[in-house]
Amino acid sequence: MTNTSISFGLIGAGIMGERMLRAALAQPAEALRVAGIWDPSEEAMSRIATALPDARRQTDAAALIAASDCVYIASPPSSHLGHARAALAAGKAVFCEKPLAVDLDDARAFVTEAKERGAVNFPFASSLAVAKLDEWIAAGHVGTVSRVSIEVAFATWPRSWQADAAGWLDRTAQGGFTREVVSHFLFLTRRLVGPLADLSAKAAYPEASKSERQIDATLTAGGVPVVLTGSVGTTTKDDHNIWTLEGDKGAVRLCDWSHAERRRADGSWERDPDALPQEDARPIALKRQLEGVAKLTRGEPHHLATLTEALEVQEIVETILKAH
C-alpha cells in the first residue's frame, strides 16, 4: 500500500455490493483501486461480469483478501465476522455492512479484537443532508435539545427492490426493517445527540417465521428522550421515514433519507433549497464514505461509523427485536 492509493476488495455481489463497486470504480485510481469482487453465488458473479465487465472477479474470499488493503463486506450478516476476522488476520482493514454479527457476544468480542482497524457502512456519516442538520444545530436553530422522534414505515417488507433477498431479509435470524433501516437512524441519533440507553420496547411478529411488522420504543440519547415507531403496511411508499430533533428554540428534521428541513416560527417546515433526491444524494455520500475508507486503511483519523458506535446501535436493535 502506498501513501495515497489503497486497494479495495469487495465480498458480496448483491445490491449493496454492486452499489459500492460502482462507486469504487468511479474513484480516481490514485486514491483507490478496486482489487476485485467475490461472491459464492455463480449467478451473482455472472451478473457482475455482464454489468461491470471491467471489474476483476476473484476466485474466492482468500484471494480477494490477499489482493486488498481494505476489505468491504456486504454478504449476509451471518457471514460478516468470518470474513472480517480473516481479513484482520491477514493484516487488512475492514469496512463492514451492518449489523456486525447475528450474535451480540460475538460482535462484542470482535470489536475488542479489531480495535481501530475497522468501520461500518452507515452512510449518514457522509450525508450532505446530515451535514446540513449539523450546521443548523451548531448555528443555534434548535437550542437546547429536548426530544428526538424516529418514524419509519413501509408498504411491504422487504421493499420491492429487495425482493430477491427476501430469503434472509424477511427472517428473524438476520433480517427485518429494524436491523436494515432503523439502525441507520439510531446511528444518526447516536452521532448527533449522544450515547443510547434506557430502552423500553415492544416488537410484533404477526406472520409466522417472518420478521417484525411493528415496533414501538422509547430510549434516551445523551439523556435526551427518544421515541421510535416502525411499521409495515401503513404507507403506500416503499420506504418512508422522518427523523426529528426538537429543542427550546426550534426543530430540524430529515425526511426520506436525504431532505433536511427546518421548522419555521409558524410551525411549517422549510426544506433546504440545496436538498437532493436520494438517487442523486447517494453517490455523493458513497464517494465520501470511500474517502473515509482510504483514511481508515492508512490509519488516519476518519469520519466513518466506528465499530463501537455500530455495536451500540446493534445492542439497541437486538434488544428491541427480543421485546415481544
Distance from C-alpha of 3 to C-alpha of 200, rounded to nearest angstrom: 47
**DSSP string for 46-59:** HHHHHH-TTS-B-S
> Three-state SS for 235?
coil
Cell numbers of 107, please?
Answer: 460482535
Q: Per residue in 196-238, pLDDT tens?
A: 999 999 999 999 999 999 999 999 999 999 999 999 999 999 9
Output the pLDDT for position 203.
98
Output the pLDDT for position 307.
97
What's the Cα-to-Cα distance from 245 to each of 57, 101, 134, 270, rounded to whole Å?
44, 30, 11, 14
User: Which range among 3-12, 116-125, 189-198 shows the weakest confidence by mean pLDDT?
Assistant: 3-12
Cβ-Cβ contacts under 8 Å for 283 (sequence gap 6 or more): 23, 26
Instruction: Note if the bond before 28 is cis, omega within 30 degrees.
Output: no
pTM score over 0.85: yes
Output the pLDDT for position 3.
57
Is residue 2 pLDDT above 80, yes or no?
A: no
**DSSP string for 251-289:** EEEEETTTEEEEE-TTS-EEE-TT---HHHHHHHHHHHH
Q: Options 3.30.930.10, 3.40.50.720, 3.30.420.10, 3.60.20.10; which CATH number does 6-120 get?
A: 3.40.50.720
Characterize the bridge pairing of strands 70-73 and 93-96.
parallel
Output the pLDDT for position 4.
72
Domain spans, the chain: 6-120, 125-281+312-322
CATH number for the segment(s) 125-281+312-322: 3.30.360.10
Average pLDDT over residues 66-74: 98
Specify whether the CB–CB gap between 213 and 207 falls below 8 A: yes
Q: Which helix (H) or strand (E) holds 247?
A: strand 240-247
Per 3-state DSSP, what percentage of the chain is helix, strand, and coil (rounded to 5)?
40, 25, 35
Output the pLDDT for position 324.
86
Cell numbers of 228, please?
Answer: 421510535
Average pLDDT over residues 280-293: 96
- Residue 14's CB is within 10 A of a number of other CB atoms, namely 18
